[in-house]
Amino acid sequence: MTDNFCKPEENSYNFEEHWNNAYLKTPTVSLGWYEVNPKQSINLINECSLPEDALIFNAGAGSTTLINKLLECGYSNIIVNDIAASALTDLKNGLASHKNKKVQFIVDDLTKPIELLNLKNVDLWHDRAVLHFFTEESQQIAYFNLIKKVVKVDGFVILAEFNLEGAKKCCGLDVVNYNVEMFQNKLGADFELLKSFDHTYIQPSGNKREYVYSLFKRTA
């Protein structure tokens, strides 16, 4: 388990190195956020009724099993992002059986985006367990500005983060706990809440982590 292996003390903390180390030191299936089956995300994505060529952006994807599931479902236009290149190694290796499908990888910081600023017309933004690590207001502003820049009107946003009863730390980092009203405030009136629910995720260690899942649609 990766909780508590190091602790940042300054604003200048090197998050890229932190996350690279997390993935280098711990096998994917032992990570405290590893999901065998990302059922809650898939159910919400199904609610969007997207065409198979819809542009799906997975923020801070790490080694998520979601990308393989999306390819199995027929989706063919997927962009996978992470701040840490090593986070994506297992995911890339696992895509060997889907060689003909379009998956683009972008290593970039969601809170200081460079290459990500080129994105446009995203049909679905998906984030599980990433936003809650952005404890500085400036990081949150940059993150939500990016969503508002790249998600198209009629596009969707899925946010799944630790809820108000949830853990206060993950992977040695402080987190911000969320509820749906907080998501709505950050997204603004152009995003309409379609669905939300709490979910208890069981870590590989057997410990529980409380999440809030939400699905928003951009209306303007």
Ligand X SMILES: C[S@@+](CC[C@H](N)C(=O)[O-])C[C@H]1O[C@@H](n2cnc3c(N)ncnc32)[C@H](O)[C@@H]1O
Using CB under 6 A as the criterion, which residues of the chain lie in contact with ligand X when the complex forms? Answer: 15, 19, 33, 60-62, 64, 81-84, 87, 109-111, 128-130, 133, 170
State in angstroms the smallest separation of the CB of 40 from ligand X: 10
Query: Taking the complex as a whole, how short is the minimal distance between the CB of residue 48 and ligand X, in angstroms?
Result: 18
Cβ closest to ligand X, residue 145 vs residue 219 = 145
User: Nearer to ligand X by C-beta: 118 or 219?
Assistant: 118
CA trace torsion 8, 162, 20, 72 (10° rounding): -170
Phi, psi of 70 (to 5 degrees): -65, -40
Q: How far is the CB of 24 from ligand X (least distance, A)?
A: 11
Measured distance CA(124)–CA(66) in Å, rounded = 13
Residues ≥6 apart with Cβ < 8 Å to 125: 57, 59, 147, 150, 151, 155, 156, 157, 158
Instruction: Quote the least distance from Cβ 43 to ligand X, whole Å.
Output: 15
Min separation Cβ 60 and ligand X, Å: 3
From residue 139, give the alpha-carbon distance in Å to each of 43, 92, 113, 149, 190.
29, 27, 10, 15, 21
Joined together, the tokens standing for residue 135 give 């404890």
Residue placing its CB nearer to ligand X in the complex, 34 or 194: 34
* CB nearer to ligand X: pick between 51 and 183: 183
Which H or E element spans position 122? strand 122-128
Nearer to ligand X, 54 or 91 (CB): 91
